[in-house]
Amino acid sequence: MTKLRVYEDTKALFHLPDGVIYLDGNSLGALPLGVAERVSRVITAEWGDELIRAWNSAGWYVQPRHIGDRIARLIGAEAGSVMIGDTLSLKVYQALAAALDMKAERKIILSDTGNFPTDLYMAEGLIGTLGRGHQLRLVAPEEVEAALSEEIAVLYVTEVDYRTGRRHDMAKLTANAHALGIVTVWDLAHSAGALPVHLAACGADFAAGCTYKYLNAGPGAPAFLYVAPHHAGSARAALSGWMGHAKPFAFELAYAAAGGVERMRVGTPPVLAMAALEASLDIWDQIDMADVRARSLALGDLLIAEVERRCPALKLVTPRAHARRGSQVSFAFGNGYAAMQALIARGVIGDFRAPDIMRFGITPLYIGEGEIVRAAEIIEEVIAGEMWRRPEYQVVNVVT
Ligand SMILES: *Cc1c(COP(=O)(O)O)cnc(C)c1O
């Protein structure tokens, strides 16, 4: 692989609008320049000219597995252990269902109050559907380790907290969980493309993540699901769709799961969205995650120092310790929503998470020191100048 220098070689590979400092790549990654050409080629040359033949001739059918292997490298997973498709909400549902089946005698799912709501909602839905008396137990993120016990069936957590950027110790929690016979399901929404992940080395059982955040594959891009190879042949696919069947084109009347992670496919994959993901992975294939992490931590430290020096009203909620944080920096501020609107109006795009968190994503492929310092200057203008008081910034949009 030719290796790209993070930022120096990569910034020019993205479309970034003039006058914008984009600190929301943790929510929707920036557009790689190769995407438009790739998607339009798939539309015209594959869909247009090949029509139905493209499932074979352009490899559409096998793409979810091939793309899974490219993501596997970024998350420390074995080749053949990652499948692409659907959305993250569905993938955590599948992973949790399979994990619960492996521990039929235990009834408690342990998660934390920093988990993303959809993960918790999907668990509630699954519990209702199973009707076997499972319970979702939520503790504070700091209490997860102490809450592990032989009563717990599944540890079901997100490695990096979407609001605060706090990071769990995956190696330690997985080892402690396994010592108590607990199956682990990790959500990597804020990890994949943000920091090195070592699923195989940690012995994680299941993991899932999305590709439209740090992986820059565009709105609605497909999610991924990891199943540890030693579980993949026995894990039950709760969403037993035809593409996860052992012989989808035999059109048998009864379901029989495909071997390995292939069984976690559900239905027809989103071919156009996968084309965008492939174009984005053309960049990621040439990136060393250790370089991304080193840059991310340095840029995070810089943003923290600059904002704390300029804006004492903003309270850092992200852990300072490198090992304990992901690739975002968040501050609590009572007027955070309006302040973020004022920042966006001045070209600094971050986002807001209720009740009072201003989030700034650090994406070193296209954000460098200059952008961070300039963003901090504008944050100071907005906060010190009380720009957030203006009425136009008080109007709350559907998506915050
Ligand atoms: C972003 C995010 C999701 C989003 O799920 P979708 O199905 O892609 O909408 C789920 N879980 C976590 C932890 C997230 O950060």
Pocket of ligand 1 contains residue 190 by CB under 6 Å: yes
Q: How far apart are CA 154 and CA 295, in angstroms?
A: 34
Q: Which of 284, 306, 330 is the last residue of a domain?
A: 284
Both 343 and 238 in one domain: the answer is no
Atom of ligand 1 nearest to the CA of 223: 8
Please state the pTM of the whole predicted model: 0.97
Atom of ligand 1 nearest to the CA of 115: 13
Distance 256 CA to ligand 1 centre (A): 29
Q: How far apart are CA 129 and CA 245, in angstroms?
A: 22
Residue 2 within any structural domain of the chain = no
Cis peptide before 319 (omega within 30 of 0): no
- Do 71 and 84 form a contact (C-beta atoms < 8 A)? yes
Give the pLDDT of residue 2. Answer: 80
Pocket of ligand 1 contains residue 86 by CB under 6 Å: no
Both 130 and 208 in one domain: the answer is yes
Look up the domain containing 55 and give its range.
37-284
Q: Which of 218, 250, 284 is the last residue of a domain?
A: 284
Give the pLDDT of residue 1. Answer: 66
User: Catalytic positions, please?
Assistant: 116, 187, 212-213, 359
> Best substitution site from 27, 88, 111 to test ligand 1's pocket, by max atoms within 8 Å of Cβ?
88
Give the pLDDT of residue 157. Answer: 98
Count structural domains, the chain: 2
Residue 4 within any structural domain of the chain = no
Both 185 and 300 in one domain: the answer is no
- For residue 175, is it left (φ>0), alpha (ψ between -120 and 50) or beta? alpha
pLDDT beneath 50: ranges in the chain: none
Both 214 and 292 in one domain: the answer is no
Pocket of ligand 1 contains residue 116 by CB under 6 Å: yes
**Per-residue pLDDT tens for 193-224?**
999 999 999 999 999 999 999 999 999 999 99
Q: Which of 255, 284, 313 is the last residue of a domain?
A: 284
Both 150 and 110 in one domain: the answer is yes
Report strand pairing: 82-84 vs 224-227.
Answer: antiparallel
112 burial (CB, 10 Å; 0-12 / 13-18 / 19+) is buried
